[in-house]
Structure 1
């Protein structure tokens, strides 16, 4: 036993010497990376080799599946090491620049300056060369795909993963929002709205930052349409009033909710009433509730200051926690339903609000799919990379994981085949 203890002491001393030498040579980042290498590689190997299943279409579309025998919509089995989207326990801060790493396929990795970093990264501050390069990539990134290229690309896992990792996330440095009390306004303290496109709530005291703040961003739509969407976090108990203020202020006709209220932990507060309620002077009353196979539809009337408006909430519940949906058609049907409802809304209506829990993953997939379906119908091609870059310019981290990026490609591939099938008929 004494000999064994002695040998262990020598071994520990050797490890400490190696660690010290490597830290001096390569910095602290080397040690944390080395400690996480095996665990990280295992996570990424799981995400890069997903299992697939054929997407299930309705009976009327069964003959469409004969068009191609290749697997269609991915089902990603992340059972080895998966974490909930945006879960605060998955967030890790590494001592590298904001855009040094591109993100993780499974867990959300936010890369920011280490505490005490003196590199400026605030609103109006000069960007570092690395951050400037990331912004340029997001402004210029493009990869237009014809239908045949889209179908080939959708099953090229390696190419999609490489493209996903090369695309900067564009997360916000928390130092940019150094305001006392702001933590109460954010569901996740490291997922913050990009300053240039954030929604600013109108208030009598505009100098009071907290009263103007909500974790939400305006997003461009198809063809550069300004403020076509608002992407936001799932409201918390502390921000339900702010959420309804935003709905009224922006004249939003539609809310798309893509999360359950709880998925192992709370993902979103139940911000709507069973019958009626008043928030911030806005009277919210439920008119009808319709339950469909994959989502529920609530129609509200909102009253404030003698004015009355109608609002529709689509609550999509068929997106499983920690995975991508195993069926594309329900998502495509919801996209078309929301698009039709928006076309029927009053001309003075504002953006469509889309939220999940953090407001970047599932939210990003839905908005990207909506934009790209329009592009495919109008132009006959899609540019998923360009759309992703534009979304991330407006709100960092949109389309959060590599699996979600693959899923968007599969959905668009299926949608193109659906369009082609209709044309042939």
Structure 2
């Protein structure tokens, strides 16, 4: 079973094999396969029942026109995207505790469910703005337009000054803007990142990546002691090292106002050698939950990022929502939550291993909850 307990980031690593990830060539009717088989495949429209995780469907998902919410003047979705949207709006599979424990061990069923669920990636053509390349860590991972975070700017007409690769996501019970999922800041976007933190009144940042894993995954966007970005003064108050994460507490000052910010940096993820990462993730989810409850009532969304802001970020946010659902309703709907997240940011929970992992984590959580109840 060990294979599937790792909270892996296979796809993110795949995107990262060379320092400047190449954009898939959408125009070609072939599938450049990454593993072994050099045979080319002709791209035909993929039915929902077929493997959506294959490179073919990934390429299709990312290049079909209009695969985000319709916006602008009556943008038409293709029938394929229409069905993908409907699938994401309707997908559901409620699991009782007993079903959850069984299903967490059923790799084949989980694979089938994962590959049937549309990714809902954005067509890069939706963002045809010169200079935007500098603002994205990966060319093909872009924020879905209808839910993207728009930065306040002196010049609202200058698209680049309003842009950040980040989306608002709903929380448990459709709570609006409970989270923001974003890419790991790059050298070019550190200022934008801090503008977002301040604008959104975020009390907490959850960072789930090392600064480097084979190559850069995230810029070190915080200071050793103090720094000013975009008129926001950021000062480190304390650094605490826990087993699986470090906690930094910052003071932010801007325009005479002062706020506190906590950054949970989960560092034990990429070390793939331990058999099971579920307990430390659960602990982090619960720790962040507690911190959120203690934050001022005026606080905004929790910001979560990894490198691309979809894989590990999706796992963390889904787990957080699902733990609440389990406590409140006594059941979980992991498929529903995944669909909900992908409607607002394509690709959330990026690999089948991650999807299985979320099931493992919830299964463990349910056992903890029922065990505590018995005592």
Which TM class, normalised by the smaller chain length?
Answer: 0.7 to 0.9
Q: Deviations over 1:164-191 (max 9, x none)?
A: 0000000000000000000000000100
Q: Deviations over 1:175-230 (max 9, x none)?
A: 00000000000000100000000000001110100000000000000000000000
Determine which of 326, 335, 343 is the counterpart of 2:276. Answer: 326
C-alpha separation in 1, matches of 2:329 and 2:169: 21
State the Cα distance separating 1:92 from its structure 2 match.
3.7
1:84 corresponds to which residue? 13
Determine which of 178, 182, 193 is the counterpart of 2:143. Answer: 193
State the Cα distance separating 1:52 from its structure 2 match.
1.8
Distance 1:82 1:346, change over 3 A: closer
- Listed as ranges, the matches of 1:147-162 within 5 Å are 147-162=97-112
C-alpha separation in 2, matches of 1:289 and 1:306: 25
Greater Cα offset, 194-203 or 93-102? 93-102
C-alpha separation in 2, matches of 1:401 and 1:90: 20
Determine which of 186, 190, 193 is the counterpart of 1:236. Answer: 186
Distance 1:324 1:83, change over 3 A: farther
2:287 corresponds to which residue? 337
Question: Greater relative contact order (Cα 8 A, min sep 6): structure 1 or 2?
Answer: 2
Flag as ranges the 4+ runs of structure 1 deviating above 6 A. 97-100, 321-325
* 1:245 partner SS: helix
* 1:227 partner SS: coil
Determine which of 355, 365, 368 is the counterpart of 2:315. Answer: 365
1:111 corresponds to which residue? 60
Note if 1:274 corresponds to 2:224. yes
1:290 corresponds to which residue? 240
Determine which of 285, 305, 315 is the counterpart of 2:255. Answer: 305
Note if 1:174 corresponds to 2:124. yes
* 1:84 partner SS: helix
TM-score, length-normalised on structure 2?
A: 0.87
Note if 1:398 corresponds to 2:327. no
Determine which of 82, 90, 106 is the counterpart of 1:140. Answer: 90
1:41 corresponds to which residue? none
Note if 1:414 corresponds to 2:364. yes
- Listed as ranges, the matches of 1:348-387 within 5 Å are 348-387=298-337
Distance 1:86 1:339, change over 3 A: farther
C-alpha separation in 2, matches of 1:110 and 1:192: 14
Distance 1:99 1:86, change over 3 A: farther
C-alpha separation in 2, matches of 1:76 and 1:343: 27
State the Cα distance separating 1:327 from its structure 2 match.
2.3
C-alpha separation in 1, matches of 2:299 and 2:322: 22
C-alpha separation in 2, matches of 1:77 and 1:190: 20
Q: Deviations over 1:303-329 (max 9, x none)?
A: 000000000000001111679972211
* 2:5 partner SS: strand
**Gap regions ≥5 residues in structure 1:** 1-50, 54-72
How many residues are aligned here? 350
State the Cα distance separating 1:75 from its structure 2 match.
4.0
8 A contact 1:154–1:410 mirrored in 2: yes
8 A contact 2:95–2:331 mirrored in 1: yes
1:245 corresponds to which residue? 195
C-alpha separation in 1, matches of 2:272 and 2:83: 31
8 A contact 1:355–1:363 mirrored in 2: yes
1:221 corresponds to which residue? 171
- Give the number of the structure whose alpha-carbon radius of gyration is greater: 1
Could you say what the CA RMSD is over the residues aligned between the two structures, in angstroms? 2.6
8 A contact 1:250–1:350 mirrored in 2: yes
8 A contact 1:90–1:109 mirrored in 2: no
Greater Cα offset, 96-105 or 338-347? 96-105
C-alpha separation in 2, matches of 1:76 and 1:227: 25
State the Cα distance separating 1:108 from its structure 2 match.
11
Distance 1:241 1:82, change over 3 A: closer
Distance 1:336 1:85, change over 3 A: farther
C-alpha separation in 2, matches of 1:267 and 1:260: 7
C-alpha separation in 2, matches of 1:144 and 1:159: 14
* 1:226 partner SS: coil
TM-score, length-normalised on structure 1?
A: 0.77
Query: Which structure has more helix as a fraction of its residues?
Result: 1
8 A contact 1:197–1:394 mirrored in 2: yes
1:56 corresponds to which residue? none
Distance 1:254 1:108, change over 3 A: farther
